[in-house]
Amino acid sequence: MTWEDLDAQLDKVPGTVSGYMARLGARPTWTRLPDATHYAASTMKIAVLVALYRAADAGTLDLDTPIPVQNSFDSAQPGAPRFACAEHYDNDDAVWDRVGGTAPLRWLAERMIVRSSNLATNIVLGQVGLPAVAEAWALGGARHSVTGRGIEDFAAREAGIDNLVTAADLAAVLGALAAGAERPGPLASPASCAAMLEVLFAQEHREDLAAGLPEGTRIAHKNGWIRGIRHGAGVVFPPDAPPYVIVVCTTTELADGGPSGEEIDDACRLIADISARVWDARHALTD
- Where the chain has pLDDT below 70, the residues are 1
d(CA 113, CA 223): 9
Provide the total of helices (H) and of strands (E) in the chain, helices listed first.
10, 10
59: left (phi over 0), alpha (psi -120 to 50) or beta: left
Residue type at 162? D
Q: How far apart are CA 250 and CA 267, in angstroms?
A: 7
Q: For 75-104, write each residue's pLDDT tens digit.
A: 999 999 999 999 888 889 999 999 999 999
CA 49 to chain centroid, in Å, comes to 9
Q: What is the pLDDT of residue 189?
A: 98
Distance in angstroms (rounded) separating the CA atoms of residues 235 and 224: 15
Which CATH number does 3-284 carry? 3.40.710.10
What CA–CA distance (Å, rounded) separates 68 from 97?
12
Q: Is 111 helix (H, G, I), strand (E, B) or coil?
A: helix
Q: Judge contact between 166 and 37, C-beta under 8 A.
A: yes
Question: Sheet containing 38-39: which strands, arranged edge to edge?
Answer: 38-39, 163-165, 146-147
Residues 6+ apart with CB under 8 A from 215: none
Per-residue HEC secondary structure of 134-172 comes to: HHHHHHCCCCCCEECCCCCCHHHHHCCCCEEECHHHHHH
Which strand (E) or helix (H) includes residue 271? helix 266-280
Q: Which of 267, 122, 282 is nearest to 218 (CA)?
A: 282
